[in-house]
Amino acid sequence: MTRDITIAACLALSLLVPVDAAMAETNARTSCIADWSDAATVVLKENLLPANNVHALVKQRHDGDLVRIVLCRDGKRFVYRIHLRRPAGQIVTQVLDARTALQVGTKSTAHSSIPAR
């Protein structure tokens, strides 16, 4: 009986986490820097736009609240992953080139697990 409940619980949880093959591929070739003290060193060394400049540009270009900025290495280039909460609550993740701030990708989700800060 307990085994059946455990299997049912695992199945239910697996349905809550959709697997997106394209995102899995992107994540396999992308590594992000979790600690901003480490990211600051990379920004200086690689001559990237500082996050505060990117933050200002994003606020000028887009409606909504900036939730998070993450510096990532995507193949041979560095990118900023920008998570925005639109006025209607939709989360949009944009990928900007870290040297030019030009948009190189986007993804929208109807609901978000990214908390506002």
The CA distance from 61 to 101, in Å, is 11
Which residue ranges form the domains of the chain, and what is each CATH number? 30-109 (3.10.450.40)
Three-state SS for 28?
helix
The per-residue pLDDT for range 59-114, each reduced to its tens digit, is 898 888 999 999 999 999 999 999 999 988 999 999 999 999 999 987 766 544 45
Q: Which has the closest alpha carbon to 40: 71, 69, 68?
A: 71
The alpha helices in the chain, defined as continuous H runs, are 2-16, 21-29, 36-46, 51-61
Q: Please say whether the beta carbons of 81 and 93 come within 8 A.
A: yes
pTM recorded for the entire structure: 0.67
The per-residue pLDDT for range 24-66, each reduced to its tens digit, is 334 557 799 989 999 999 999 999 999 999 999 988 988 889 9
pLDDT higher at 115 or 44: 44
